[in-house]
Chain A
Amino acid sequence: MDTSPPTRYTTTAITLHWLVALGILGAFSLGLYMQDLPLSPAKLKLYSYHKWAGVTIFLLVLVRLFWRATHPAPPLPLSMPVWQRRLATSMHHLLYGLAVCIPLSGWLMSSAKGFQTVWFGVLPLPDLVTKDKALGDALADVHQFLNLSMATLVTVHVTAAIRHHLHGSEAILARMLPFLRNKARP
């Protein structure tokens, strides 16, 4: 019986990771694009899609966190220096934190600006704050700052994964990319 620790994430964890990654990339790009558009029906639609995507990503992240809490991640290879392993773990925690806080900040900002979030135009989310221009502007800054942080951390995260894959001796990327498994395994 194989009692060695797993070398890759569970299929569920992998699926959730890539779904959330795609969602974030999409919602982020849409957010960048839509904000400077002149007011039009298209802009209203895009804002709604962005908000629906945000709520969906938020829920997927909650499922991910639950899954992660109940299914431990495969340990990082011992061949990696301790500082790298610590840094990688901290990075993952920060990414999870941002993935939770960014949709929350968007939801609050939307309420403060007087536009309720109605998921897929059907399910209204409560407004946790009332309309308040100053608060809305402040939350817009928070939303933007968190997103720029996310963009920076994702860049580092992706760079680190690719670097490890190309130059490291560890099959790091294969933990999250199952089709690399055979190739990457020694």
Chain B
Amino acid sequence: MTRPILAVLAGCLLTASVSAAEVGAILADKSKLTFVSKQMGVPVDGEFRKFTVNMNFDPAKPDAGRAQIDIDMASVDAGAAETNEEVTSKNWFNVKQFPKATFVSSSVKALGGNRFEVAGKLTIRDKTRDVVAPFTMTPQGPNTLFEGVFTLRRGDFGIGQGVWADFDTVANEVQIRFRLLTAAKKG
């Protein structure tokens, strides 16, 4: 049973890694963690360029599925240089004090077909909230794509304080999209 260990070691060399059981190592350059915020009614795309994924998922036993995602908050690209500077500062992510955001799953259930739902705890800054995200699992050649969307309220996490605290310029709802491509399981 050295193969899974090798896979983990190989995965650790990538920005994003996976401790593979039923799915293989995550393909970091083909995986994306993006978000859409609304500024004055205008959807603006953003992205976290660095994150690590630790997951274990077998569609035959979804209940046993586990995932942890650690996000390097300073790797945010919120659409423009001045926005990035702002969003990493004290009023928003405060990356000096809170460099990492973490999602830890607590349960996964099957919704039928290739659809599933993961529930878990999301910690951003010093706030931890329950989130639920539906996702799909789609084979892509030898690889497997996990894709999902959910909406969080920035106010729940204290993201955007001071002058940004009201939601008339930057909306409370932020849509989070994840697209995780995992390689075929080795062994």
Contacts and interface: CB of A to CB of B under 8 A. Distances in A.
A45 B40 contact: yes
Interface string B44-65: 1100000000000000000000
A117 B39 CA distance: 11
* Chain B CB within 10 A, most for which of A45, A115, A116, A124: A115
Given A44-B169, A115-B79, A118-B40, A39 B86 contact: yes
B41 A44 contact: no
B42 A48 contact: yes
A124 B83 CA distance: 22
Contacts, number: 43
Interface residues of B, number: 19
A24 B166 CA distance: 31
A121 B163 contact: no
A113 B40 contact: no
A121 B44 contact: no
Instruction: Label chain A's interface by main secondary structure.
Output: loop
Contacts of A113: 80
Contacts of A44: 39-40, 169-170
A39 B83 contact: yes
A122 interface: yes
A115 B159 CA distance: 21
Contact of B164 (A41, A45, A48, A121): A41
